[in-house]
Structure formats: C-alpha cells, structure tokens
C-alpha cells in the first residue's frame, strides 16, 4: 500500500505555508522601505 | 565600558544593521540546507521496516514540532528580559516570534494529523501530546491577540506576562509522552540518551531541523529590520 499521497500532502502543506509566510514578511519588509 | 558596548550591541539600530548584512547569506544557506535535507530524507533515506514510506513525514513533522517549542522558549525568554530590564529589542524578538511560532505549531499539528491517519487510523485523538501542542497554538494566538487588543505599552507588558506564564506548557509537551500513557510515540531525539533512529535516517532529520532554525532566524532578521524602519 502506498503512502505517497500522505507524504506529499504533508511536505506540500509545510513548504507552501513556509513560503507563503516568508513572502508575506518580505512584502512587509519591502513596504517599510 | 563593557556595559556601554553591551548596550550598543543590543540596540535595535545595531541589530538591524547586522541583520541587513547577514539576510542574503542566511536565505541561500537556509534554502540549500532544506533542499538537501528534503532530497536526502524523501529519496535517499531507506524506508522504515514497519511504517514503509509514511515515516518520511518525520522530515517535516519533527522539525516543525521542535521549532514550535524552541520558538516559544525564545519568545518567553525575550519576554522575561523585556519585563526585567525593559530591553526593547527583546520585546521586538518576542513580537516577531509569535506568528512564526504559531505557524510551526500549526504545521506540527497538521502534519502529525496526516501521519496519524494511516498509522493510527484517525486524524485526531485527545492524546496528552496532541492536546498540549494544541494549547501551545492557543498560547501563541493569545499572545498576539492580547498584544493587539490593548494600547501599545500595556499590550507589550500584558502579553509578555502571558508568554512567561505559558512557559509552563513547554516541559508538559516535552514530557507528556513519558508522564502519560499516550498513543504518540516516545521521544526520538533526546539530550539524555542516544537517538533511537538509524544514522541514515537521522542525518537528514538533523539537517531539516537546522534548515527550519535558519528559517526562523531569517524571519527574525527581516522583522527586526522592518521594526527598525517603522520606529
């Protein structure tokens, strides 16, 4: 039985959230210039 | 003399300048460490003999959970420093830590849930480890809400007290799997004993934890520069 869907969901959600928050913080930083 | 130098070192303008210098390097090192850790963990590390490939969720779940505790500890220590010596930069570090800490806690809960479904047969259970981690998420939310709900100075003080009092939850989370009979497995990495993992699985995990630490540091650097420009 394959667990690929679970692994890729977990990794995708993690990387997606981390990237989204980094972009948000970067945007706030750029806006403060 | 030493006191003067220390005061200069912990001033917001000095730290913001230092952060501006290290931010680009930090970004590329973090990216490389996470990319290597992920590739190693997802592709090169061997499968677990019981859990098969599902164990690979460990490479995002454990770093998130580890960082959630570490970020809360940093936030509480910074809040305590602010309460005792009124160090402005400590307050800024505590403020910048709360959302990223909440994010790591959320990710630890979500990835744990995704791991729980195939292994335990359920997305969620009111287990001691899971419940205490959920309380940690509420503590982060409480800190942010209290800070924003009150005027600036009172909000900073009240939320700092909350962060320090909430520190009691950290040992409860860490030792919950030892103190109570839980569905969650015992600690894999502990300072007092050898890791219970094979080194081929352990090294990518350590790399991922380092990558997540660098991510936290990067967020702090950007937030401190933003705070400096706004003040």
Classify residue B6: in a domain, yes or no. no
Q: How far is B210 from chain A (nearest CA, A)?
A: 15
Residue from the list A3, A26, A32 with its beta carbon closest to the beta carbon of B52 = A3
pLDDT tens by residue, chain B, 231 residues: 677 777 777 888 888 999 999 999 999 999 999 999 999 999 999 988 888 889 999 999 999 999 999 999 999 999 999 999 999 999 999 999 999 999 999 999 999 999 999 999 999 999 999 999 999 999 999 999 999 999 999 999 999 999 999 999 999 999 999 899 888 887 777 655 666 788 899 999 999 999 999 999 999 999 999 999 887
Task: Write down the pLDDT at residue B191.
Answer: 58
Give how far Cα B110 sits from Cα of B101, B113, B116, Å.
14, 5, 10
Query: Could A25 and B223 be called an inter-chain contact, meaning their C-beta atoms sit closer than 8 Å?
Result: yes
Indicate whether this model's pTM tops 0.80: yes
List pLDDT tens digits, range B83-115: 999 999 999 999 999 999 999 999 999 999 999
Interface test with B, best of A2, A9, A11 (most B CBs within 10 A): A11
Classify residue B207: in a domain, yes or no. yes
Q: How far is A19 from chain B (nearest CA, A)?
A: 10
* Domain count across chain B: 1
Check if the beta carbon of residue B159 is closer than 8 Å to that of residue B147.
yes
Classify residue B2: in a domain, yes or no. no
Classify residue B40: in a domain, yes or no. yes
List pLDDT tens digits, range A3-32: 889 999 999 999 999 999 999 999 999 998
Task: Write down the pLDDT at residue B50.
Answer: 84
CATH code for the domain of B169: 1.20.120
Classify residue B25: in a domain, yes or no. yes
- A5 in B contact zone (CB under 8 Å): no
Query: Could B60 and A26 be called an inter-chain contact, meaning their C-beta atoms sit closer than 8 Å?
Result: no
Domain range for B88 is 12-230
> Which residues in B have their CB inside 8 Å of a CB on A?
38, 42, 51-54, 56-57, 59-61, 64, 99-100, 103, 106-107, 110-111, 114-115, 117-118, 215, 218-219, 222-223, 225-226, 229-230
Q: How far is B1 from chain A (nearest CA, A)?
A: 34
Classify residue B7: in a domain, yes or no. no
């Amino acid at each position: 039985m394959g667990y690929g869907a679970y692994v890729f969901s977990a990794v995708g959600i993690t990387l997606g959230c981390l990237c989204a928050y980094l972009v948000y913080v970067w945007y706030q930083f750029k806006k403060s210039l | 003399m030493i006191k003067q130098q220390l005061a200069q070192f912990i001033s917001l303008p000095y730290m913001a300048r230092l952060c501006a210098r290290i931010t680009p390097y930090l970004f590329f090192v973090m990216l490389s460490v996470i990319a290597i850790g992920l590739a190693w963990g997802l592709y090169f590390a061997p499968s677990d003999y019981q859990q098969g490939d599902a164990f690979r969720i460990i490479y995002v779940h454990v770093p998130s959970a580890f960082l959630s505790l570490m970020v809360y500890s940093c936030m509480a220590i910074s809040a305590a420093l602010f309460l005792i010596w009124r160090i402005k930069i400590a307050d800024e570090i505590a403020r910048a830590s709360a959302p990223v800490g909440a994010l790591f806690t959320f990710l630890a809960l979500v990835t744990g849930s995704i791991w729980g479904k195939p292994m335990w047969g359920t997305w969620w259970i009111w287990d001691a480890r899971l419940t205490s981690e959920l309380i940690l998420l509420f503590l982060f939310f409480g800190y942010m809400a209290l800070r924003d709900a009150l005027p600036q100075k009172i909000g900073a003080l009240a939320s700092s007290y909350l962060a320090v009092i909430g520190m009691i939850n950290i040992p409860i989370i860490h030792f919950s799997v030892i103190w109570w009979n839980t569905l969650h497995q015992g600690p894999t990495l502990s300072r007092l004993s050898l890791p219970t993992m094979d080194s081929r699985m352990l090294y990518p995990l350590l790399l991922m934890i380092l990558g997540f630490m660098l991510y936290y540091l990067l967020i702090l650097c950007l937030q401190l520069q933003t705070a400096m420009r706004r003040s």
